[in-house]
Amino acid sequence: MSRQSMRANDPKKVSGELFTLTYGSLIAQLLKDYENVDDVNRQLERMGYNIGMRLIEDFLARANPGRCYDLRDTADKIQQAFKLYLGVSPSIGSWSPGGDEFSVVLETNPMAEFVELPDHCLGLRYSNILAGVIRGACEMVQLEVMAWFIADQLKGDNVTEIRVKFVKRLEDAIPAGED
**Interacting residue ranges for other proteins, rule: CB under 8 A:** 4, 8, 53-54, 56-58, 60-62, 64-69, 140-142, 172-176, 178
Find the shortest distance in angstroms from Cβ 171 to other proteins: 11
Of the pair 54, 83, the CB lying nearest other proteins is at 54
Nearer to other proteins, 61 or 167 (CB): 61
Q: How far apart are CA 125 and CA 135, in angstroms?
A: 16
Which phi and psi (to 5°) does residue 88 adopt?
A: -125, 150
Q: How far is the CB of 133 from other proteins (least distance, A)?
A: 14
In whole angstroms, the minimum distance from the beta carbon of 65 to other proteins comes to 8
Q: Which is nearer to other proteins, 8 or 121 (CB)?
A: 8
Tell me how far, at minimum, the Cβ of 167 lies from other proteins, in Å. Answer: 18
Dmax over Cα atoms in the chain, in whole Å?
Answer: 59
> With respect to other proteins, which residue has the nearer C-beta, 38 or 73?
73
Strand order in the sheet with 143-151: 91-93, 101-106, 160-169, 143-151
Contact 43, 50 (CB under 8 A): no
3-state secondary structure 97-146: CCCCEEEEEECCCHHHCCCCCCHHHCCCCCCHHHHHHHHHHHHHCCEEEE
